[in-house]
């Protein structure tokens, strides 16, 4: 009897124990104020605190209802109207209304907005995705209107079909206006609050150590989240993070070096987790440098590099190469006619000879001094490409310099001759991949006179695609863009890589988003 | 004595100005534009210009330096370029963690290094002597990063005896409010045995990692200082008087041998305050070292400048204390 009572007590105790999910963060959040930062960890934490107007289906870039239950554009494509979910409350008890949405958007968009309390804040992402701040000639947004208590309308200067996808990006979590006004400059900092409608609410942020979030008991998605608490523990060093995961100090983490995959698979307590690829690592060929002004030379290079072997060697199952500039999750916008250049050194050599370089030439190939998800070991990958190129007579000189100079000098005329770089998408629309690289002018490549390059045909195509209100036509235009960029071979896509994540076996329900961060509301801990 | 102390304190000013100049110039020597480094691969020219303006990078070099110096002298260490949090606040919050770790590492070095050094000297050429000298050679040459990870994998991952990093377990860290930031002290003040125990367990591996190099150095210094003193006449006299060997060594020899040892302990402690960057990074120790590391990684100039400055200041102050302690230990040294 005594034993039974004891057992019952223990069971009760276990049942009452708080379920805490510990996430190994690879760095410190910069700010928990939405719209103000772009770093991965800040967004990851924000994703738990805030909801966005539109959300993405788990594990994909497909749109689904978020704080808005429905949205539609005007027939001319120049305005977007969102109907808000009713009865949703922020963590501080205030209600989510169209006014609150307007308040948030105007803060991001208008540099003179009085609620932009911190003069030092950057708010750099809004102009990047929406053409400029209020008053800038390129600003796509013209006005935010409150139609009624639960309806908000965005009036645009031109059709922008990707608008719902762009506003769904994790940067744009809707925050409580009351909390922002109350906290002033402290909002989103370690000494202030961060108040959204999301599955978890902020309890404490101790810089350098951890951010503690607690279940939002009034979350509008009934039955979620599944755990009581989420703790982001800051562990910068990848080896230390893996050790913490093995020891059980943390439950799950991101940003595991691909070389550790085998180690993960061998550990009985751990599972590797693959994030769907949403990036591209490419080799840019600058046509202002003599041999590359000839498209045949660029195509020869695309043919001479054994991309399949390189991806197999450096990424294994963590990468694919398919000739498309956009990642596989954007299949709908990819042309079925585009297949990767076949690896064919003979043909490449013939093409070079045709272009007037039967004995090849000498070129500089710049590799990045830092590791990025799309190129985890840039130097070794550059060496592999150089070896392939030497087989068709191109003598490659490998070059690098410090990261800041690298980024800067590549786009200072005359720019680097050939260099490695990549891109990770912000939201699930091809515009976000094509425009920064190929819209007119392309700021990091130059024509022979040293002016920034513009391939007019491609530029016009992209402008048309970006503003086309007809979904089918838009799809077709982007497929054309896929074909055109492939034949131009100005940036040769080498890889779409899958970031490697890891969890302990007792964690279930984690579906990583291709976009880099996802809500933890569905995760359970046994 | 007082005028000596006063003069030494006054002498600190040119030293500190020199340090600010060095810190400033070193950061200028790093190639590349910090604004570009902060914004990364996607910064547009307009964003770059705005950030340069904000960071004051558009102004002439001497103006930048004078601005930096002026703000330092007024106690304003600037705000982090990345998080826009005042650097001084962050340093204030983090220094107890670094201090506690440095103190623990010094304790490891002193508690082991001095006795082993004495024993090695007394039993010169014995097995113990050879062993301790070889080990200390290994100790000074071991890369801190490698040693730290080795200890983590052995004691935390494989044996599960100790935690992998941080200052407290996740749950205790949520529940416990530190008062001063010195966790050992705070847990005692709050009468929280569980916190004290947890904090000690977290402190052990980083302290061992950080303490290894000073431990090795201290063992060697103690041994050679002791050897020198043991060959002096007064030791022979003491022995001739028929004093027990224990008394000769601990009372007569040790006191004189300790002088260079104190210097080294002081210097090492100063070094530890700043040299904890690697150890703090491996063990996710939220101190000044990991803060500076993060600052370097992000090209966050105000953070690196202020961080290095504070560490240099601590180093200079510890040196001052060492000098002053000489007067107490050795009456032959006179200050005028």
Closest chain B residue to A27, measured at CA: B294
Q: Does A405 touch chain B (CB under 8 A)?
A: yes
Contact call for A243 and B51, based on CB within 8 A: no
pLDDT band at B52 (very low <50, low <70, confident <90, very high): confident
- Residue A361 burial class via C-beta count within 10 angstroms: exposed 0-12, middle 13-18, buried 19 and up: middle
Q: What pLDDT score was predicted for residue A341? A: 92
Those of residues 165-204 in A touching chain B at CB distance below 8 A are 189-190, 203-204
Residue A423 distance to chain B (closest CA, Å): 8
* Of B5 and B18, more confident: B18
Virtual torsion, Cα B263, B265, B270, B272, nearest 10 deg? 150
Q: Which residues of B78-91 are buried (b: 16+ CB within 10 A; e: fewer)?
A: bbbbbbbbbbbbbb
Q: Is the ipTM of this complex over 0.90?
A: no
| pTM across the whole model | 0.87
Name the nearest CA neighbour of B225 among B331, B115, B117. B117
The whole-angstrom separation of Cα A184 and Cα B142 is: 49
Name the nearest CA neighbour of B142 among B213, B202, B246. B213
Q: What pLDDT score was predicted for residue B313? A: 84
pLDDT tens per residue across all 526 residues of chain A? 455 554 444 444 444 467 999 999 998 898 999 998 888 899 999 999 999 999 999 999 999 999 999 999 999 999 999 999 999 999 999 999 999 999 999 999 998 888 886 655 678 889 889 988 999 998 999 999 999 999 999 999 999 999 999 999 999 999 999 999 999 888 999 999 999 999 999 999 998 899 999 999 999 999 999 999 999 999 988 999 999 999 999 999 998 988 899 999 999 999 999 999 999 999 999 998 889 999 999 999 999 999 999 999 999 889 999 999 999 989 999 999 999 999 999 999 999 999 999 999 999 999 999 888 899 899 999 999 999 999 999 999 999 998 888 888 888 878 899 999 999 898 889 999 999 899 988 878 887 777 888 899 999 999 999 988 888 999 999 999 999 999 999 999 999 999 999 999 999 999 999 998 999 999 999 8
Q: What pLDDT score was predicted for residue B105? A: 93
Contact call for A124 and B39, based on CB within 8 A: yes
Instruction: Show the beta-strand stretches assigned E in A67-161.
Output: 68-73, 79-84, 141-148, 151-156
Cα maximum dimension of chain B: 85
- CA distance to A360, A410, B44, per residue, from A285 (Å): 16, 11, 20
Contact call for B45 and A443, based on CB within 8 A: yes
Residue B36 distance to chain A (closest CA, Å): 5
Chain A CB contacts of B41 under 8 Å are: 407, 421-423
Under a CB-based contact definition with an 8 Å cutoff, are residues A266 and A505 in contact? no
Write the CB contacts of B54 (distance below 8 Å, at least 6 apart in sequence): A120, B81
Closest chain A residue to B79, measured at CA: A120
Nearest neighbour of A124 by CB, restricted to B47, B84, B293:
B47
Q: What pLDDT score was predicted for residue A117? A: 66
Q: What pLDDT score was predicted for residue B42? A: 66
The whole-angstrom separation of Cα A371 and Cα A271 is: 24
Q: What pLDDT score was predicted for residue B101? A: 94
**The residue to which tokens 């760095």 are assigned:** A27
Instruction: Name beta bridge partners: A230.
Output: A21, A213
Q: What pLDDT score was predicted for residue B336? A: 53
Instruction: Name beta bridge partners: A72.
Output: A81
Q: Does B291 touch chain A (CB under 8 A)?
A: yes
Nearest neighbour of B31 by CB, restricted to A22, A237, A405:
A405
Element (H, E) at A366: strand A362-366
Q: What pLDDT score was predicted for residue A118? A: 60
CB pairs under 8 A between A and B: 141
Element (H, E) at A274: strand A270-274
Nearest neighbour of B82 by CB, restricted to A30, A210, A236:
A30
Reading the block at residue A101, the tokens are 């949405």
Contact call for A237 and B282, based on CB within 8 A: yes
Chain A CB contacts of B45 under 8 Å are: 443
Those of residues 478-517 in A touching chain B at CB distance below 8 A are none
Question: What distance, in Å, lies between the first and last C-alpha atoms of chain A?
Answer: 29
Q: Does A403 touch chain B (CB under 8 A)?
A: yes
Q: What pLDDT score was predicted for residue B201? A: 95
Residue B267 distance to chain A (closest CA, Å): 27
Reading the block at residue A435, the tokens are 């425009």
Q: What pLDDT score was predicted for residue A391? A: 94
Q: Does A420 touch chain B (CB under 8 A)?
A: no
Those of residues 349-378 in A touching chain B at CB distance below 8 A are none
The whole-angstrom separation of Cα B240 and Cα A286 is: 88
The count of C-alpha atoms lying within 13 angstroms of the C-alpha of A49, restricted to the half-sphere facing its C-beta, is 32
Under a CB-based contact definition with an 8 Å cutoff, are residues A31 and A502 in contact? no
The pLDDT tens digits for B155-188 are 999 999 999 999 999 888 888 888 888 999 999 9
Chain A CB contacts of B153 under 8 Å are: 243
The whole-angstrom separation of Cα A93 and Cα A217 is: 12
What average pLDDT does chain B have? 85
* Of B10 and B327, more confident: B10
- DSSP one-letter code for A338: -
Q: Give the angle subtended at the CA of A91 by the CAs of A85 and A97, to the nearest 5°.
A: 35
Closest chain B residue to A405, measured at CA: B32
Q: What pLDDT score was predicted for residue A120? A: 54
Those of residues 61-90 in B touching chain A at CB distance below 8 A are 79, 82-85, 90
- CA distance to A121, A193, A378, B125, B165, per residue, from A370 (Å): 26, 34, 7, 50, 26
The whole-angstrom separation of Cα B260 and Cα B204 is: 27
Q: What pLDDT score was predicted for residue A13? A: 44
Those of residues 153-182 in B touching chain A at CB distance below 8 A are 153, 156-157, 160, 163-167, 170-171, 173-174
Under a CB-based contact definition with an 8 Å cutoff, are residues A117 and A185 in contact? yes
The whole-angstrom separation of Cα B236 and Cα B136 is: 29
Name the nearest CA neighbour of A430 among A461, A457, A451. A461
Contact call for A402 and B30, based on CB within 8 A: yes
Length reported for chain B: 336
């Amino acid at each position: 009897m005594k034993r039974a009572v004891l057992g019952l007590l223990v069971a009760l105790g276990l049942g009452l124990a708080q379920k805490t999910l510990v996430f190994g963060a690879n760095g410190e959040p910069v700010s928990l104020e939405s719209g103000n930062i772009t770093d991965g960890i800040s967004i990851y934490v924000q994703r738990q605190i805030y909801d966005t107007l539109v959300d993405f289906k788990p594990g994909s870039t497909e749109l689904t209802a978020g704080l808005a239950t429905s949205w539609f554009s005007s027939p001319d494509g120049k305005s977007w109207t969102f109907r808000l979910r009713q009865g949703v409350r922020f963590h501080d008890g205030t209600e989510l209304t169209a006014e609150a949405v307007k308040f948030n958007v105007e803060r991001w968009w208008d540099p003179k907005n009085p609620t932009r309390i911190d003069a030092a804040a950057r708010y750099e992402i809004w102009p990047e995705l929406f053409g400029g701040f209020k008053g800038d000639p390129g600003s796509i947004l013209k006005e935010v209107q409150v139609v009624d208590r639960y309806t908000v309308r965005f009036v645009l200067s031109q059709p922008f079909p990707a608008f719902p996808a762009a506003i769904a990006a994790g940067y744009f979590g809707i925050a409580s206006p009351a909390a922002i006004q109350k906290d002033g400059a402290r909002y989103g900092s370690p000494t202030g609050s961060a108040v959204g409608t999301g599955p978890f609410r902020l309890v404490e942020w101790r810089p350098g150590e951890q951010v503690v979030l607690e279940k939002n008991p009034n979350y509008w998605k009934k039955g979620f989240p599944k755990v009581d608490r989420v703790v982001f523990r800051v562990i910068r060093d990848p080896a230390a993070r893996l050790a913490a995961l093995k020891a059980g100090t943390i439950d799950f983490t991101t940003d595991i070096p691909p070389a550790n995959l085998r180690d993960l698979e061998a550990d009985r307590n751990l599972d590797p987790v693959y994030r769907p690829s949403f990036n591209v690592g490419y080799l840019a060929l600058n046509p202002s440098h003599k041999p590359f002004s000839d498209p045949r030379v660029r195509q020869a290079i695309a043919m001479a590099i054994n991309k399949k072997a390189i991806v197999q060697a450096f990424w294994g199952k963590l990468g694919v190469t398919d000739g498309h500039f956009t990642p596989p999750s954007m299949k709908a916008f990819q042309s079925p006619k585009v297949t990767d250049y076949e690896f064919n050194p003979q043909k490449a050599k013939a093409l070079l000879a045709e272009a007037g370089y039967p004995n090849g030439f000498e070129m500089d190939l710049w590799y990045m001094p830092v590791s990025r998800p799309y190129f985890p070991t840039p130097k070794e990958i550059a060496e592999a490409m150089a070896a392939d190129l030497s087989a068709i007579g191109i003598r490659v000189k490998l070059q690098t310099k410090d990261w800041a100079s690298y980024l800067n000098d590549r786009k200072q005329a005359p720019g680097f001759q050939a260099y490695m770089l990549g891109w990770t998408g912000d939201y699930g629309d091809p515009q976000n991949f094509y425009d920064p690289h190929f819209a007119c002018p392309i700021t990091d490549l130059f024509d022979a006179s040293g002016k920034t390059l513009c391939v007019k045909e491609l530029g016009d195509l992209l402008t048309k695609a970006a503003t086309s209100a007809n979904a089918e036509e838009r799809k077709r235009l982007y497929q054309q863009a896929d074909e055109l960029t492939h034949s131009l071979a100005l940036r040769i896509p080498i890889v779409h890589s899958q970031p490697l994540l890891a969890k302990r076996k007792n964690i279930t329900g984690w579906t990583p988003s291709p976009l880099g961060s996802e809500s933890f509301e569905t995760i359970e801990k046994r | 004595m007082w005028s000596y102390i006063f003069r030494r304190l006054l002498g600190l000013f040119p030293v500190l100005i020199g340090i600010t100049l060095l810190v400033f110039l070193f950061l200028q020597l790093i190639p590349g534009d910090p604004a570009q480094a902060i914004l990364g691969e996607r910064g547009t020219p307009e964003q770059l210009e705005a950030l340069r303006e904000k960071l004051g990078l558009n102004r002439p070099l001497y103006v930048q330096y004078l601005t930096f110096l002026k703000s330092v002298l007024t106690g304003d260490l600037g705000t982090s370029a990345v998080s826009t949090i005042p650097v001084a606040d962050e340093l204030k919050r983090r220094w107890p963690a670094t201090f506690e770790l440095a103190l623990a590492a010094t304790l490891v070095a002193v508690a082991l290094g001095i006795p082993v050094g004495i024993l090695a000297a007394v039993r010169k050429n014995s097995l113990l002597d050879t062993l301790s000298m070889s080990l200390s050679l290994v100790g000074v040459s071991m890369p801190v990063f490698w040693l730290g990870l080795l200890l983590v994998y052995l004691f935390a991952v494989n044996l599960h005896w100790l935690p992998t990093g941080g200052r407290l377990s996740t749950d205790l860290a949520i529940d416990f409010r530190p008062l001063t930031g010195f966790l050992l002290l705070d847990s005692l003040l709050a009468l929280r045995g569980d916190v004290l125990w947890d904090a000690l367990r977290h402190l052990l591996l980083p302290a061992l990692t950080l303490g290894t190099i000073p431990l090795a150095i201290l063992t060697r210094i103690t041994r050679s200082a002791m050897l020198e003193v043991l060959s002096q006449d007064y030791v022979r006299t003491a022995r001739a008087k028929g004093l027990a060997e224990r008394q000769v060594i601990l009372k007569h020899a040790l006191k004189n041998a300790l002088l260079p040892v104190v210097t080294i302990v002081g210097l090492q402690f100063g070094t530890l305050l700043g040299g904890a960057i690697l150890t703090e990074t491996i063990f996710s120790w939220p101190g000044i070292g990991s803060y500076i590391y993060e600052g370097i990684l992000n090209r966050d100039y105000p953070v690196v400048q202020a961080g290095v400055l504070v560490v240099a200041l601590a180093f200079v102050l510890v040196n001052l204390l060492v000098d002053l302690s000489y007067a107490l230990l050795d009456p032959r040294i006179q200050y005028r």
